[in-house]
């Protein structure tokens, strides 16, 4: 039985209000961020993903006029994992669309780098500001139309009401940031009539907001590791349980090989759902010999293996096309053409707003933020720059509060003897001296939190690299300060002296660095 506040499309007035601007739409989204004090309470409370998440999400969808079955027509591909789930989703999208450009694809990923609209893509390109504003307004106004009934349905006690006010939730009847974006994305894909929507899980899988979908065509699980332990648990089997929660009854699932305990969980959960399981192994990378992958690093070849298998299954089930070869010829263009900024990205100063002031700086950008991904980043950077010994090297590093900063930083300090960073900068994630851009506003961390992390990182570097010149260890209040330091250093060097800047440890920092450099959403 539908709740009393359910509204279908036909119940909405056709009278349009003043259209949201893009900025207004993003401001509405930002108002749904949980504040830093609340998040700290939740961190201390321990793992908190629970069975209430999906029923709540289904209610939000009902309020804007959808039932989960409405999304079956999107021929969904659902992807989770710890490492490479975003890259695998991007590779899958590019491969399908380039295989047949009549396949209209939708892609939902997180986080964004420069602009929120990057999270929702049609045929690989971020939706326009106009479309983002339109679909945000649709969702916002449908939630507003059911607001009174929704709040009544919460049956809030006086204590709970006070808690909401104390935590400064501006809109207690509306979902938090990522859930709201999930509503907007799936609404957009329905309205844009995409033939295939690829959904990257936000966190975990079992209770993630994207897991309201009921009948995906195929599911994918990329490499698993320890991440988001305060949410998912601190052992690999607990994390694997959450991740494999996207497996659906009788729906094929593709998993990259996992640590033994994690693999046991994936296999068991697939068996429970009678889901045909395909396991891919690292040694199968030989199948990609002679195949160009548009993303750098061995790990991206592993992601490409997963994407290829996902595409094969999708095309067989939806188009009735079967392939005998390991890498179909029609897949190669998409694998080569894929772009995924901020992951193993090399950016020349000529492509930035600084191109008129310097011409000898290269940025190496990688949003790695786990042990495993930082190891991959370290290998990539070391391999990429090894032929240019005569260069000044700068490390710009940040990690999110709550992570094991000493251990994460140690992955980079291990390659110091080989790459020889001349300067290290520990920056906050704040974009400009004036603060954040609208798209990258972040209410989830306090100023005290971000400054304490960078000071701790600076002390950690001193301990891990004791012979490093302390005068060359810097902290930066903003990413703008870190970028300007690098540019000004280059200006004072001979024109033929190259400056190489590795920016890593946080995908948010990498995204905000692209913003400072003046790079448009890609």
Residues contributing to the annotated binding site for ATP: 343, 366
- Residue found under tokens 């939000």: 60
Paired tokens of 437:
């851009």
Contacts for 125 with CB less than 8 Å, ≥ 6 apart: none
Q: For residue 39, which of 31, 30, 48 has the smallest C-alpha distance?
A: 48
Is-contact 383 415, C-beta < 8 A?
A: no
Binding residue positions: 110, 200, 228, 343, 366
Segment (H or E) for 514: helix 507-516
As a whole number of angstroms, the distance between CA 331 and CA 340 comes to 17
- Can you tell me whether residue 186 is helix, strand or coil? helix
CA distances from 427 to 214, 356, 473, 476 (A): 42, 25, 11, 5
Relative orientation angle of helices 129-145 and 53-63, to the nearest 10 degrees = 100
Locate tokens 């994690």: which residue? Answer: 262
Q: Residues 154-170, buried b or exposed e (16+ Cβ, 10 A)?
A: eeeeeeeeeebeeeebe
The C-alpha torsion from 326 through 330 and 336 to 341, rounded to 10°, is -100
As a whole number of angstroms, the distance between CA 450 and CA 145 comes to 38
Question: 499, 391 in Cβ contact below 8 A?
Answer: yes
Q: What are phi and psi of 502, to 5 degrees?
A: -95, 120
CA distances from 23 to 41, 111, 153, 320 (A): 30, 18, 31, 44
Residues in the annotated binding site for Mg(2+) = 110, 200, 228
For 475, the token pair is 């902290």
Taking 3-state DSSP, the helix, strand and coil percentages for the chain, each rounded to the nearest 5, stand at: 50, 10, 40
With a CB cutoff of 8 Å and minimum separation 6, the contacts of 155 are none
User: Taking the C-alpha atoms of 470, 474, 475 and 476 in order, what is their torsion angle to the nearest 10 degrees?
Assistant: 170
Q: Are 304 and 288 contacting, i.e. CB atoms less than 8 angstroms apart? A: yes
H/E stretch holding 507: helix 507-516
Residues 6+ apart with CB under 8 A from 475: 425, 426, 427, 451, 454, 455, 458
Please give the Cα distance from 391 to 362 (Å, whole number).
10
Rounded to whole angstroms, the Cα distance separating 8 from 284 reads 48
């Amino acid at each position: 039985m539908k709740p009393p506040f359910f509204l279908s499309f036909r119940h909405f007035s056709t009278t349009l209000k003043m259209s949201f601007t893009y900025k207004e739409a993003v401001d509405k989204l930002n108002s749904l961020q949980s504040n830093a004090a609340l998040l700290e309470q939740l961190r201390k409370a321990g793992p908190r993903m629970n069975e209430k998440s999906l029923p709540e999400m289904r209610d939000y969808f009902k309020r804007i006029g959808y039932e989960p079955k409405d999304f079956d027509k999107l021929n969904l591909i659902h992807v989770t994992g710890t490492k490479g789930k975003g890259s695998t989703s991007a590779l899958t999208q590019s491969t399908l669309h380039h295989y047949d450009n009549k396949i209209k694809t939708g892609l939902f990923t997180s986080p964004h780098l420069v602009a929120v609209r990057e999270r929702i893509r049609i045929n690989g390109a971020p939706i326009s500001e106009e479309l983002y504003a339109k679909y945000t307004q649709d969702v916002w106004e449908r939630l507003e139309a059911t607001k009174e009934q929704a709040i009544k349905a919460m049956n809030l006690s006086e204590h709970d009401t006070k808690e909401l006010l104390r935590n400064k939730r501006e809109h207690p009847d509306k979902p938090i940031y990522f859930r709201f974006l999930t509503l907007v994305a799936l609404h957009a894909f329905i309205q844009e009539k995409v033939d295939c929507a690829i959904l990257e899980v936000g966190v975990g899988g079992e209770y993630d907001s994207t897991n309201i979908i009921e009948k995906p065509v195929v599911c994918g699980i990329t490499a698993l590791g320890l991440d988001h332990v305060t949410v998912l648990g601190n052992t690999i089997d607990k994390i694997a349980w959450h991740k494999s929660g996207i497996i659906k009854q009788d729906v094929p699932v593709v998993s990259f090989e996992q640590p033994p305990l994690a693999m046991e969980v994936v296999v068991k959960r697939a068996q429970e759902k009678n889901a045909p399981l395909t396991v891919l192994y690292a040694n199968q990378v030989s199948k990609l010999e002679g195949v160009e992958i548009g993303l750098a690093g061995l790990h991206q070849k592993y992601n490409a293996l997963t994407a290829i298998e996902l595409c094969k299954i999708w095309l067989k089930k939806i188009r009735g096309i079967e392939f005998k070869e390991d890498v179909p010829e029609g897949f190669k263009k998409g694998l080569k053409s894929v772009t995924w900024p901020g992951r193993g990205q090399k950016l020349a100063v000529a492509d930035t707003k600084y191109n008129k002031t310097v011409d000898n700086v290269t940025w190496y950008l990688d949003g790695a933020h786990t042990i495993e991904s930082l190891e991959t980043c370290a290998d990539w950077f070391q391999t990429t720059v090894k032929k240019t010994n005569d260069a000044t090297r700068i490390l710009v590093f940040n990690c999110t509060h709550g992570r094991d900063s000493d251990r994460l930083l140690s992955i980079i300090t291990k390659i110091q003897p080989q790459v020889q960073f001349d300067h290290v900068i520990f920056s906050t994630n704040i974009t400009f001296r004036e603060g954040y851009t609208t798209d990258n506003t972040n209410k989830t961390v306090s100023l005290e939190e971000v400054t304490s992390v960078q000071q701790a990182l600076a002390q950690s570097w001193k301990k891990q690299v004791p012979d490093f010149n302390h005068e060359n260890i810097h902290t930066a209040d903003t990413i703008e300060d870190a970028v300007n330091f690098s540019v000004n250093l280059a200006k004072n060097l001979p024109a033929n002296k190259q400056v190489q800047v590795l920016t890593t440890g946080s995908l948010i920092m990498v995204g905000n660095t692209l913003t400072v450099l003046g790079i448009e959403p890609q």
